[in-house]
Chain A
Amino acid sequence: MNAHVEHAEAEIFQKYFWSTDHKVIAMQYLFTGMAMALIGGFFAYVFRMQLGFPNQHVPGYGLVTPGRYNALVTMHGSIMIFWVAMPVLIAAFGNFLIPLMVGCDDMAFPRINRLSYQIFLLSALVLLSSFLVKGGPFGGAWTAYPPLSAVGSYNLTPIGATLWLVAVALEFVAFLLGGINFTVTTMNSRAPGMKMYDIPLVIWMIVLASVIFMASVGPLVAGAIMLLFDQTVSTGFFDPSRGGDPLLWQHLFWFFGHPEVYVVLLPAMGIVAEVLTVFARKKMFGYKTVLYTTWAVGFLSFVVWAHHQFVAGIDPRMANIFSVTTLLISVPVTEMVFLYIATLYGGSIHLDTPMLWALAFIAEFMIGGVTGIFLGSSGTDIYLHDTYFIIAHFHYTFVPIAIIAVFAGITFWYPKMFGRMLNETLGKIHFWGTVAAFNVIFIPLFITGTAGDQRRVYSYAQFAELSRPALQHLRTTSTIALLVMLSFQFVFLFNFFWSLRSGKPAGTNPWRSTTLEWTVPSPPPHGNFAVLPTVYRGPYEYGVPGRADDFFPQNVPD
C-alpha cells in the first residue's frame, strides 16, 4: 500500500469517524439510530408473527421459544427507547440543528460531543453482543424488575442481564455528556441578538428534554450501580431476605422512566412546531404559552412516576396522590396540543410530506394522550395495567414520537442535510402506507387489552379466556398490519438513498423558512456560516403585514 492511499484512508477515517463537526456527529447518531430501528423492527416482526400465527416457523428467524420471546420483547423495548428514540430525536436532531439554528459554528465542546457518540456506539455494541453470550440476551422486560433481573438462577441469562445493564448505563453517560453540551451551547453560544424568546421551539424543547433527562437519570444511575453489584458481587440491595427492597428499583426506574416519556416527547413536539409553522405559513399561536406549558410539563413529569406502580405493591394511599398529579399533567399537555391546532387557524396550509407527518403526529398523539387517562386513573388501572390496552396506549404515543415526528423531521431537514430534495410521490406513498397500517396494528390491541389480554406472553394456550378465536383474529389482523407497515419502510429507505444522488438540488431555502439554518448552503460547510449571523426577531414571522414575502427571516435587519 502506498503512502498516498494510506493518507486518503486516514482522511476518510478522520472525516467520518473521528470528526468533531456537529453535522457529522449528527449523521453518525442518525444512521446508528436507523440501523438500530431496523433491528428493533425486526424483533417486533418476529414476536408479532409468533402472536399472530402461534408456534409456526417465522421466516428469517425460526421457531420462537418462550425464552427467546422474552428476550425479543425486552430488546425491542430497550432498543426502541434508548437506541432509537433518544439518539435520533435528541442526539441527531439536536446535534444537527442546535448550532445551525442558534447561529454558531459548532457545539461549545466538540470533543465532548465526539466522546458522547463514541460511548453511545459502545453501548449499542455491548447490547448487541449479548446475543452472542451463553444464555442469550436479557429477557426480564425493559423495566428489569429485581429479583428477576438480579439473580441469574431466576432469569437464566446472567451474562445477558449484566450486559444489558452495562449497555443502558453507558447509554446514560453518553446522553449526559451530549445533553449537557446541548444545554451549554444553547445558553451561551447564541448569535448576537437572539434573546430567550427568539430561540426556535425545537431547540427549546431539545434543551429542556436534555435538562429533564439530566435531572431524572441520576437516581437510576445509582440504581444501576446497585443492581450491578447485586448481580456480580452478591450484595442484597434489592433482596428482601437481606434487608433490601425490590420496590426501590421500581421507584428509581420510574422516577427516570416517566420523565423519559417527556424527554422523547418534547423534541418531537419541537420538530412538529417547526414543520407546522412553515407549511401553514403561520406564526406559532402563543409561542410563550407553549413554552410555559412545556416548563409545567417538565416539572410535573417528576411527580407522577408511581402511576406505573399502582398495583405493584406500593402503599395504596400513595396511589391517590399520584392519580391526582397524573391527571394534573394532562392539563398543560392538552393546552400545548390545543395551541398547535390553533396555529392552523388563519394559515395557508400546504400539504407537503413533512406537513402530512406533522399533522398525523398531532392526530395520532391525541389518541395516545386520551387513552392515558384510563391508565392514570387508579381505579381503571387495576384492570388495564399490564394488558395490551397499555401496549396500544404507549405505542400511540411512542410511534407518533419516534416514527411519525422523526419522519416529519427527516423529510423536512433532508434538503438541508444532504442538499437534495426527497421524492414527493414516494414520500406520500410511504406516509399513507405507514400511518394507515399503524392504526390497524394498534386499534385491535386496544380491544384485546380491554378483553383482559396480558402482555409479554408468548402463547395464550394456557388461558381459556384469551385463546378465544375472536381475540386471535384481532391479533392476526394486528400482525398482518405490522407486516404492511414494515414493508412500506422500504419505500422510505429507497427514497432516502436514491435521493442522495438523484434528488432535485435543494438550494438554500426550499421551504421558504425563517430560521437560521436555511440561510446557509445545503449541505452546510464546515463551520456553518461564512459570516456569523445576527438575529433581529423571533423564529415564526410568517405573513407579516406590509411585506412582499410572506416570511421574514430571523437574520434580516428591519
Chain B
Amino acid sequence: MLERYLTAASTYAHSIDHLFILIALVVGFWLIAAEGMMFALVFKFRAKDGRPTQYITGEEPQLKRWISIPHYIIIVCDIVILAGAVMVWYNIKQVLPPADVTVRVIGQQWAWSFQQPGPDGVLDTADDIRTVGELHVMVNTTYRFELLSRDVVHSFAVPAFRLKQDALPGRTITGWFRPNRVGTYDIQCTQMCGIGHAMMAGRIVVETPQDHAAWLLRNTDPPVAVEQAPAVSPAMGDSLAAMAAVRR
C-alpha cells in the first residue's frame, strides 16, 4: 500500500509497510464501526413528536455490554498491534546485523557529509572517501552507520528505506540499513535545524557492485592495487573483485 506512494528500497521497508497495513485494517474497522454506530443512533433517535426520551443511567448490565464487549476486543487488538510494533522496532532499531561496511554520517547546518572506507575496508584510515550530500552504497550489502551531528539536532531520514534517526550533537548513534533496489533516493533532514532546513537535502545512490566498484575507483587516489589491499572485509571482497574486473 505504501509502495504506491513511495518505492521501498531496503530490506526492512516492507516490514514497516506491513505493520502500517495491519494497523490500518484494525483501526479502520473500528473507526467505521464507531462512526457508523454514531450516525445510525443520530438517525434512529432523531427528535419526533410524541416519542419521549428514555431514562438510562448507563448502569444497566444489558446496555453496558455494548460498551464492555467491544472494549475487551479492542484490548486484544491493541495487543496484536503492539506485538507487531515491538517486533518491527526490535529488528530495525535494537538489533544490529553483522555489518559488511561501516560508514559515518555527519549532519551539520545545512548539509550531510559522509565518510566511508576506501579499498582497505576500514574506516578512519588514509584512503577513506569523504563526500558531501551524496552517499554511494552497493545493493544487497548491509551497511552500519554511525550518526553524528556537529551543531544542532538533525534527523537522518531516507524515506525510501523507511529509515529515520535523529543526529544529536555529543552522541554517536549507530544504526543499519540494507538497500535492495538500485536507484537514487532522497535523504531528508526531518528535524528543524535552522534557516536552511529545507535545503538540507542529500542523495543516496544505490549501485550494482560493478558501478560501485567503478565509483570507488574514481574516488581513490592513487588507485590501490588489489593485491596490496590489506584486511579485506568479506563484502568488500566482492567489490574489489569487481573492481579488478573493471580494471582488466
A residues engaging B (CB < 8 A)? 66-67, 69-70, 139-141, 143, 145-148, 151, 154-156, 240-241, 245-247, 280-287, 289, 310-313, 316-317, 319-320, 323-324, 327-328, 330-331, 334-335, 337-339, 341-351, 359, 362-363, 366-367, 370-371, 373-374, 377-380, 382-383, 385-387, 447, 450-452, 454-460, 462-466, 542-545, 550
- CA A311 to CA B92, docked complex, whole Å: 11
Shortest 5 CB-CB distances between A and B: which pairs? A240-B170, A379-B88, A286-B58, A452-B159, A377-B85
Q: Min CB distance, B116 to chain A, in Å?
A: 22
Q: Are B191 and A282 in contact, with the CB atoms below 8 A?
A: no
Q: Are B58 and A283 in contact, with the CB atoms below 8 A?
A: yes
Q: Are A337 and B42 in contact, with the CB atoms below 8 A?
A: no
Q: Which of A148, A284, A348 contacts B58 (CB 8 A)?
A: A284
- CA A331 to CA B79, docked complex, whole Å: 11
Residue of B nearest to A242 (CB): B170
- CA A268 to CA B48, docked complex, whole Å: 29
Q: Are A311 and B165 in contact, with the CB atoms below 8 A?
A: yes
Q: Are B34 and A349 in contact, with the CB atoms below 8 A?
A: no
Q: A344-B38, A348-B52, A550-B53 are in contact. Are A379 and B85 (CB under 8 A)?
A: yes
Residue of A nearest to B93 (CB): A316
Chain B residues whose CB sits within 8 angstroms of the CB of A323 once the complex forms: 82, 85-86, 89
Q: A345-B56, A373-B27, A457-B197 are in contact. Are A147 and B82 (CB under 8 A)?
A: no
Could you give, for residues 143-178 of chain B, a 1 whenever the CB lies within 8 Å of some chain A CB and a 0 otherwise? Answer: 000000001110101011011111111110100000
Chain B residues whose CB sits within 8 angstroms of the CB of A147 once the complex forms: 151-153, 169
Q: Which of B20, B31, B194 contacts A148 (CB 8 A)?
A: B194
Q: Are B194 and A383 in contact, with the CB atoms below 8 A?
A: no
Chain A residues whose CB sits within 8 angstroms of the CB of B75 once the complex forms: 331
Chain B residues whose CB sits within 8 angstroms of the CB of A346 once the complex forms: 45, 53-54, 56
Q: Are B94 and A316 in contact, with the CB atoms below 8 A?
A: yes
Chain A residues whose CB sits within 8 angstroms of the CB of B90 once the complex forms: 320
Q: A311-B166, A452-B6 are in contact. Are A366 and B34 (CB under 8 A)?
A: yes
Q: Are A543 and B190 in contact, with the CB atoms below 8 A?
A: no
Q: Are A240 and B23 in contact, with the CB atoms below 8 A?
A: no
Q: Which of A148, A362, A460 contacts B38 (CB 8 A)?
A: A362
For chain B, the bracket of interface size reads 35 or more
For residue B199, CB closer than 8 A to chain A, the reply is: yes
Could you give, for residues 179-219 of chain B, a 1 whenever the CB lies within 8 Å of some chain A CB and a 0 otherwise? Answer: 00000111010111111111111000000000000000000
Q: Are B67 and A330 in contact, with the CB atoms below 8 A?
A: no
Residue of B nearest to A386 (CB): B190
Q: Are B20 and A338 in contact, with the CB atoms below 8 A?
A: no
Q: Min CB distance, A150 to chain B, in Å?
A: 9
Q: Are B38 and A359 in contact, with the CB atoms below 8 A?
A: yes
Q: Min CB distance, A543 to chain B, in Å?
A: 4
Chain B residues whose CB sits within 8 angstroms of the CB of A363 once the complex forms: 35, 38-39
- CA A539 to CA B201, docked complex, whole Å: 58
Q: Min CB distance, B128 to chain A, in Å?
A: 24
Can you name 29 A-B pairs with beta carbons within 8 Å?
A70-B194, A155-B194, A240-B169, A311-B165, A312-B153, A313-B167, A313-B173, A316-B94, A319-B93, A323-B85, A324-B82, A338-B70, A342-B63, A348-B47, A359-B38, A373-B27, A374-B27, A377-B23, A377-B81, A378-B86, A378-B89, A379-B15, A380-B88, A383-B20, A386-B157, A463-B186, A463-B188, A542-B53, A544-B55
Chain B residues whose CB sits within 8 angstroms of the CB of A459 once the complex forms: 198
- CA A283 to CA B60, docked complex, whole Å: 13
Chain A residues whose CB sits within 8 angstroms of the CB of B93 once the complex forms: 316, 319, 378, 382
Chain A residues whose CB sits within 8 angstroms of the CB of B23 once the complex forms: 373-374, 377, 380
Q: Are A457 and B198 in contact, with the CB atoms below 8 A?
A: yes
A-B contact count (CB 8 A): 288
Q: A147-B151, A457-B198 are in contact. Are A345 and B41 (CB under 8 A)?
A: yes
Q: Are A312 and B166 in contact, with the CB atoms below 8 A?
A: yes
Chain A residues whose CB sits within 8 angstroms of the CB of B89 once the complex forms: 310, 316, 319-320, 323, 378-379, 382
Q: Which of B64, B84, B151 contacts A379 (CB 8 A)?
A: B84
Chain A residues whose CB sits within 8 angstroms of the CB of B186 once the complex forms: 452, 463-466
Q: Min CB distance, B144 to chain A, in Å?
A: 15
For residue B228, CB closer than 8 A to chain A, the reply is: no
Chain A residues whose CB sits within 8 angstroms of the CB of B157 once the complex forms: 386, 454
For residue B248, CB closer than 8 A to chain A, the reply is: no
Q: Which of B31, B45, B51, B74 contacts A367 (CB 8 A)?
A: B31
Chain A residues whose CB sits within 8 angstroms of the CB of B194 once the complex forms: 70, 139-140, 148, 154-156
- CA A328 to CA B159, docked complex, whole Å: 29
Q: Are A465 and B159 in contact, with the CB atoms below 8 A?
A: yes
Chain B residues whose CB sits within 8 angstroms of the CB of A545 once the complex forms: 55
Residue of B nearest to A470 (CB): B5
Interface residues of B in 15-73 (CB under 8 A from A): 15-16, 19-20, 23-24, 26-28, 30-31, 34-35, 37-39, 41-42, 45-48, 51-59, 63-64, 66-67, 70-71
Q: A140-B194, A387-B190, A457-B198 are in contact. Are A148 and B153 (CB under 8 A)?
A: yes
Q: Are A462 and B151 in contact, with the CB atoms below 8 A?
A: no
Q: Are B67 and A286 in contact, with the CB atoms below 8 A?
A: yes
For residue B109, CB closer than 8 A to chain A, the reply is: yes
Q: A66-B198, A323-B85, A457-B197 are in contact. Are A280 and B52 (CB under 8 A)?
A: no
For residue B2, CB closer than 8 A to chain A, the reply is: yes
Q: Are A345 and B45 in contact, with the CB atoms below 8 A?
A: yes
**Seed contacts A312-B166, A366-B34, A383-B159; 16 additional CB < 8 Å A-B pairs:** A66-B197, A70-B195, A240-B169, A313-B166, A313-B173, A324-B82, A327-B85, A331-B71, A344-B42, A347-B53, A350-B47, A380-B16, A450-B5, A456-B197, A462-B199, A462-B201
Q: Which of B30, B67, B78, B86 contacts A339 (CB 8 A)?
A: B67
Q: Which of A146, A324, A334, A377 contacts B74 (CB 8 A)?
A: A334
- CA A542 to CA B162, docked complex, whole Å: 53
- CA A147 to CA B120, docked complex, whole Å: 37
For residue B246, CB closer than 8 A to chain A, the reply is: no
Residue of B nearest to A550 (CB): B53
For residue B87, CB closer than 8 A to chain A, the reply is: yes
Q: Are A462 and B85 in contact, with the CB atoms below 8 A?
A: no
Chain B residues whose CB sits within 8 angstroms of the CB of A374 once the complex forms: 20, 23-24, 27
Q: Are A338 and B67 in contact, with the CB atoms below 8 A?
A: yes
Residue of A nearest to B152 (CB): A148
Residue of B nearest to A337 (CB): B34
